Amino acid sequence: MHPVEVIEMVSFYAFFDQTPRGRNRIRLSKTPISMMNGAREVAEAFGQSLGIAMGETSLDGMFTLEWTNDIGMADQEPAALVNGMILTSLTPLDVPGIIAALRHEEDGLGLSSYPPTAAQALKLPKSNVRPSLIQAGPLLTRPVVRARGLKAALAMTPEKVIEEITSSKLRGRGGAGFPTGMKWRLTRKSAGKEHYILCNADEGEPGTFKDRMLLAEFPDLVFDGLTIAGYALGSQHGILYLRGEYAYLWETLQETLRTRRSLGLLGANICGRQGFDFDIRIQLGAGAYICGEESSLIESLEGKRGSPRDRPPFPTERGYLQQPTAIDNVETLICAARILEKGVAWFTSYGTKESAGTKLISVSGDCARPGVYEVPFGVTVSELLDLVGGADAIYVQVSGPSGHSVAPKDFGRSIAYEDLSTGGSTMVFGPQRDVLDVAMQFAEFFVEESCGWCTPCRVGTTLLKQGMEKVLAGRATLSDLSEMEALGQTVVRMSRCGLGQSAPNPILTTMRNFPELYEARLAAVPFTPLVTLHDALREAVAVQGREPLSEET
Amino acid sequence: MSLLDIDERILELVDLVDLDVSPFDDKKAFDRQVDVGFVEGGCSNEYNVKELREFRKHCRILISVGACAINGGVPAMRNTIGLRECLEAVYLNGPSLEGAGMIPNDEDLPLLLDRVYPSHEIVKIDYFLPGCPPSGDAMWEGLKALLTGKAPTLPYLLCKYE
Amino acid sequence: MVAASFKFNIDGIEVEATEGQSVIEACDEAGIYIPRLCHHPELPPSGNCRVCTCKINGRHSAACVTPAAHGMVIENDTPQLTSDRRAVIEMLFVEGNHPCPYCVASGDCELQALGYRLGMVAPTQPYQWPERKIDATHPDIYLDHDRCILCSRCIRASRMEDGKTVFGFEGRGIAMRLNVDAQGGLGETQMAAIDKAASVCPVACIVIKRHNYQVPNGSRRFDKTPIGSDIEAKRTRRQS
């Protein structure tokens, strides 16, 4: 392997470094939710206490302090990732205790093994992730008995399992909504040395955390689903691609896998079914939103940069290691397990005609009860707001930054593939919030997460962010707005993958749904320069120590 | 100046237009509105900005002419360096300097902008005539279009960025 | 074995293609030009630049990475696509530093040529003025990162054709850069001036030293005829 290839890969992921950084790595989440819950104050407290700014490393090499994008804790933010451990509901008052604990080197926190163990985390204040499930529906009603769905599946032929999933009308829960039965059938019938089933647990869409909840609270159901899928498509290998931010779940997930092996639910001749050999391994991501895109996930699994692939060929024909591969969301696999357990009729009795079943919604922001809600498809935004205690919302971001900015006039719209299609992220914003400031933060998010492979996304996301900065500064003109809209549409049409194709959404959908907010910020002139003369002269004033000649700035 | 490259066609031109403010006469400032203004060069200091704004104020149609006006040209080489570093490299740390240098700071000198801006980032520009310089034919083509009330468009052989 | 042939339709014109051809390859053969930048006929396609994006069966897809298929209906030369492609070219112009007047490749540059062909008079997106380096460590080649448009041609050529892996990407998003396989610069890599990777750069990022200005400005590839004319000439010949 060439050094240039190593750097190519390492420099892609936020969690890898090319130069030594602090022994303790403090990464504060900067979702809009984290910000409105006081992340800035927490950051200042860390900064003051360590004597460094965000992005810097302390002189003694003990601490690096930085921002990170979503870490899947939007219901308990401000949250931070410290050496892979999760700290939640932070306030500035927590900071001294956290730093003191980290300085206590004999506890081994600073040199913690990675992934971290629960025992390590116990030594850190605020290292407690609150259970996130607020409302369970039919899918998650307890008790959950391990392997029920699996045993039901193994009583059928693989083809019959796929038939069941197909007639249940189960569609991918990541948001794209591809019919799961069809995906499994296509993968099964593709020729290959091996077949792979991957579980996409790279839930990086800011504001979503339902997969984290499922992995923490229903791991056996996830692995049941994965094993059923393995059986259905004739695979021996299941891989759970776990986002690096969720490394704190590693230990318990591995424990669950060990138990399943000891019970004969993994390994050779599973549940006595001769010839069905299947095992699951877990691979960690390293901080890249794009890896939630299935072809990027495959590249990442192969140890490369997580840049998307061109399709065709689709993963169902040539995916992981060029072999037929099905990739399913955590929630989709749980649905599959339950469908086999409880039957197709049970599943299709919930939801709408085109969206069967229920959906897990991760709710965060300005509402009384943030957390995960299981609701039938078809529920309207206002019903959901009533449920979570967010009735005075002025704006709801459905399906994360890549999704829809929904204004009150559209709160009657429903959560369903045929209307507001969503992976589950639902961020609620109350009357005190600035919609365009949130859109700006989302625009920045895409600048940071664009993989760089293709021009429209790599450059377009930056240009859009700059356009949005002008809007927020009150300097954009009407023609700036129409140019920004045209640029956004070009990025949508020309980008290579879903990231670029949806990156302009925060701007395009707020323009459409909140035009009055843009109008209120317009500069009422036909043209404003890119930079004010005052700003363009600032450096010269500093260097030369005198004021501009002309009064007009 | 590449206007002069239109050669004898300038005789045709003077019959059709009045030259107001230009390097060809001694008139330095606008005292009336004109139809068309051509600007060359980017904006590297506060004077340039002032002058460009004067042009915009007095010209019904403003055209950015040549590579410097369009992207800053050679002076914009400093744009990737930063103003302070650039001044210090030239006046304080330059290899050809003898003794301690100083950054010129006469109060009559206009302050430099943090970078060289193309004209369209400072004022609204209606049309562009690219080239370094635009050829006489390109200038003539542009002028002809304007005189007939059309938007200047250049055929392939005349549209050059260099 | 002869590959099966079939037909598809592009802008109302029937094109014959064979199994295994991409849309762009089939169109090239038929004398229909689809504007492209990162694509190189002798290298595997990579879909970086997106200039060759067409509307294929109603969906936007890059023609270089889309296999031709029977019955496809493709839109290529439409005002919308021309405008989108021009916007992408503009993005590349403002992303790097591209001063045509004093660039060694002017007249021979595929980025510039596409600007001309697609009707870009001047880029109007804000110039980004990134700080980039020149790598002159190699005795025969210099690397001017100001001009790099991240098309990956050199990366592909070095890996597939030269078997060397001299080039790679570094970083992601707007901070992504071309990188070489040695900390000390190109001079410490296996790169040679006769490598395929040295001759496929569409702009003046990879430049062979002492070989420039042999063809004067005014007589270069795209000075008189638009990029793509060679491809279009095939069709004209066939028709006449």
> Is residue B124 within 8 angstroms of chain A, CB to CB?
yes
The whole-angstrom distance between C5's CA and the closest CA on chain B is: 37
pLDDT > 50? residue A238: yes
Query: Cβ of A252 under 8 Å from any chain C Cβ?
Result: no
Position C182 scores a pLDDT of 97
- Find out whether A394 and A430 touch, Cβ atoms under 8 Å: yes
Q: Which residues of C touch B129 (CB under 8 A)?
A: 121
**Which among A2, A460, A496 is the nearest to C165, CB-wise?**
A2
Coil, strand, or helix at residue A181?
helix
**B60–chain A Cβ distance below 8 A for any pair:** no
- The total of other beta-carbon atoms located within 10 Å of residue A523's CB is 16
Residue range A418-429, pLDDT digits in tens: 999 999 999 999
> Which chains pack against B, by 3+ Cβ pairs within 8 A?
A, C
Mean pLDDT of chain A: 95
Please state, for a pLDDT cut of 70, what percent of chain A lies above it.
Answer: 98
Q: B73-86: buried (b, 16+ CB within 10 Å) or exposed (e) per residue?
A: beebebbbebbeeb
Judge contact between A329 and A172, C-beta under 8 A. yes
Instruction: Tell me which fold the domain B2-11+35-147 belongs to.
Output: Rossmann fold (3.40.50)
Distance between C180 CA and the closest CA of chain B, angstroms: 22
- The pLDDT of residue C184 is 96
Contact (CB<8Å) B121/C132: no
Q: Taking CB atoms and an 8 Å limit, are B80 and C116 in contact across chains?
A: no
Question: Between B74, B115, B120, which is nearest C102 by CB?
Answer: B74
Classify the phi-psi angles of C3: left when phi > 0, otherwise alpha if psi is within -120 to 50, otherwise beta: beta
Exposure string of B30-49, with b = 16+ CB inside 10 Å and e = fewer, is eeeebebbbbbbbbbbbebb
**SS3 readout for chain C:** CCCCEEEEEECCEEEEEECCCEHHHHHHHHCCCCCCCCCCCCCCCCCCCCCCEEEECCEEEECCCCECCCCCEEECCCHHHHHHHHHHHHHHHHHCCCCHHHCCCCCCCHHHHHHHHCCCCCCCCCCCCCCCCEECCCCCEEEEHHHCCCCCHHHHHHHHHCCCCCEEEECCHHHCEEEECCCCCHHHCCCCCCCHHHCCCCCCCEEECCCCCCCCCCCCHHHHCCCCHHHHHHHHHHHC
Q: Which CATH class is domain A358-429?
A: alpha beta
From chain C, the residues in CB contact with A461 under 8 A are: 173-174
The CATH code for residues A3-122 is 3.40.30.10
The Cα C44–Cα C65 span in angstroms is 9
Taking CB atoms and an 8 Å cutoff, what residues of chain C touch A454?
47-50
CA–CA distance, A215 with A333 (Å, rounded to integer):
11
Residue A552 scores a pLDDT above 70: no
Closest CB from C167, C173, C181 relative to A451: C173
End-to-end CA distance of chain B: 16
With beta carbons under 8 A apart, name residues in chain B contacting C116.
156, 159-160
Q: By CA distance, what is B73's nearest residue in C? A: C99
What parts of chain C have a pLDDT lower than 50? none
Distance CA A43, CA A92 (A): 8
Under 8 Å CB-to-CB from A322, ≥6 apart: which residues? A192
Question: What's the token pair of residue A318?
Answer: 């040539």
Tens of pLDDT, residue by residue over A277-325, are: 999 999 999 999 999 999 999 999 999 999 999 989 999 999 999 999 9
Query: What is the pairing mode between strands A24-29 and A63-68?
Result: parallel
CB pairs under 8 A between B and C: 64
pLDDT for A110: 53
| C104 in contact with chain B, both atoms CB, cutoff 8 A | no
CA atoms within a 13 Å half-sphere pointing along the CA-CB vector of A413:
19
Residues A264 and A34: their CA atoms lie apart, in Å, by 43
Residues in chain C closer than 8 A to B122 (CB atoms):
none
**Secondary structure class of A152 (helix, strand, coil):** helix
Confidence check on the interface: ipTM exceeds 0.95, yes or no = yes
Please state, in angstroms and rounded to a whole number, the distance separating the CA atoms of residues C121 and B149.
Answer: 19
Token representation of residue B40: 């060359």
Tell if the CB–CB gap between A544 and B47 is shorter than 8 Å.
no
The angle formed by the CA atoms of residues C164, C166 and C170, to the nearest 5 degrees, is 140
Its CATH class, for the domain covering C85-211, is alpha beta
Asked if B111 and A545 come within 8 Å (Cβ–Cβ), the reply is no
| C contacts of B159 (beta carbons < 8 Å) | 116, 121
8 Å CB contact between A258 and A171: no
Supply the CATH classification number for the domain C5-77: 3.10.20.740
pLDDT score recorded for residue C236: 78
C224: number of Cβ within 10 Å: 12
Q: Determine the Cα–Cα distance for residues C113 and A406; give it in Å rounded to an integer.
A: 43
Please name the residue of chain A whose CA is at the shortest distance from the CA of residue B115.
A536
What is the pLDDT, as a whole number, of residue A345?
A: 98
| Residues on chain C bordering chain A, Cβ-to-Cβ distance under 8 angstroms | 45, 47-51, 53, 60, 62, 65-67, 83-85, 87-88, 91-92, 94-95, 125-126, 128, 149-150, 165-176, 179-183
Residues 6+ apart with CB under 8 A from A492: A500, A501, A502, A504, A508
pLDDT at residue B114, as a whole number: 97
* Chain C residues touching residue B128 (CB < 8 angstroms): 121-122
CATH code for the structural domain at A133-348: 3.40.50.11540
Q: Give the nearest chain C residue to A1 (CA atoms).
A: C165
Which class is domain A437-521? mainly alpha
Are C47 and A496 a contacting pair at CB < 8 A? yes
Give me the sign of the Cα torsion angle C114, C168, A245, A361: positive
CA distance C216 to chain B (A): 13
C-beta atoms of C121 and B80 within 8 A: no
Distance of alpha carbon A284 from alpha carbon A291, whole angstroms = 11
A vs C: CB pairs below 8 A: 117
Q: Write the residue in A530, A542, A544 that is nearest to B121 by C-beta.
A: A530
Nearest CA in chain C to B134: C101
- Nearest CA distance, C237 vs chain A (angstrom): 32
For A476-491, letters b (16+ CB in 10 Å) and e give bbeebbebbbebbebb
Residues of A within 8 A of B103 (CB-CB) are: 543-544
Residue A179, helix vs strand vs coil: strand
Task: Compute the C-alpha angle A141/A145/A151, nearest 5°.
Answer: 120
Mean pLDDT of chain B: 93
Q: Could you report the per-residue pLDDT of A240-257, keeping only the tens digit for each?
A: 999 999 999 999 999 999
Give ∠ CA A123-A125-A131 in degrees, rounded to 5.
100
**Residues in C touching A462 (Cβ below 8 Å):** 128, 174
Whether A461 sits inside 8 A of C47 (CB atoms) is no
d(CA B120, CA B118): 6
Q: In this structure, are residues C54 and C73 in contact, taking their beta carbons and an 8 Å threshold?
A: no
Domain segments of chain B as ranges: 2-11+35-147
DSSP state of C79: H
How far A522 CA sits from the closest chain B CA (Å)? Answer: 17
pLDDT for position C235: 87
Q: Percent of chain B scored above 70 by pLDDT?
A: 99
Rounded Cα gap, residues A328 and A172, in angstroms: 7
Among B44, B46, B106, B121, most A C-beta atoms within 10 A, so best to mutate, is B46
Structure tokens at B22: 């230009």
CA angle B149, B154, B160 (to 5 degrees): 145
Residue A267 one-letter amino acid: G
Q: Please tell me the distance in Å from B157's CA to the nearest CA on chain C.
A: 6
Q: What distance in Å separates residue B14's CA from the closest CA in chain C? A: 27
Cα separation, C174 vs A459, whole angstroms = 6
pLDDT at A550: 64
- Nearest of C67, C196, C146, C48 to residue A305 by alpha carbon: C48
What pLDDT, on a 0 to 100 scale, did the predictor assign at position B141? 94
pLDDT tens for A333-347 read 999 999 999 999 999
Backbone angles phi, psi at A473, to 5 degrees: -80, 0
Domains of chain A, residue spans: 3-122, 133-348, 358-429, 437-521
Cβ–Cβ gap A450/C173 under 8 Å = yes
Residue B16: half-sphere exposure toward Cβ, Cα within 13 Å: 14
Per-residue confidence (pLDDT) for residue A234, from 0 to 100: 96
Name the residue facing C88 among A310, A451, A456 (closest C-beta): A456
Chain C CA closest to residue B67: C101
Per-residue pLDDT tens digits for A114-171: 898 888 888 899 999 999 999 999 999 998 999 999 999 999 999 999 999 999 999 9
Percent of all residues in chain A with a pLDDT value above 90, rounded to a whole number: 93
For C:126-185, CB contacts with B below 8 A are 126-127, 129-132, 146
B110/A526 CB distance under 8 A:
no
Lowest mean pLDDT among A360-364, B90-94, C20-24: B90-94
* Tens-digit pLDDT profile for residues B95-142: 888 888 899 999 899 999 999 999 999 999 999 999 999 999 999 999
CB A441 within 8 A of CB A471: no
What ranges do the domains of chain C cover?
A: 5-77, 85-211
Read off the pLDDT of each residue in A361-368 and give the average, rounded to a whole number. Answer: 98
A304 touches chain C (CB under 8 A): no
Helix, strand, or coil (residue A534):
helix
Q: Provide residues of A within 8 Å CB-CB of chain B.
A: 526-527, 529-531, 533, 535-546, 548-550, 552
The DSSP bridge partners found for residue A280 are A238
Tell me phi and psi for residue B86, to 5 degrees: -65, -50
CB C108 within 8 A of CB C206: no
- Contacts of C12 by beta carbon, 8 Å cutoff, 6+ apart: none
At A553, is the pLDDT very low, low, confident or very high (cuts 50, 70, 90)?
Answer: very low
CA dist., res. A137 & res. A135, Å (int): 7
Chain-centre distance for alpha carbon A385: 22
What residues in chain B have their Cβ under 8 A from chain C's Cβ atoms? Answer: 64, 67, 70-74, 76-77, 79-81, 115, 118, 120-121, 127-130, 132, 154, 156-157, 159-162
Chain B residues whose CB is inside 8 A of the C126 CB are 121
- DSSP one-letter code for C66: S
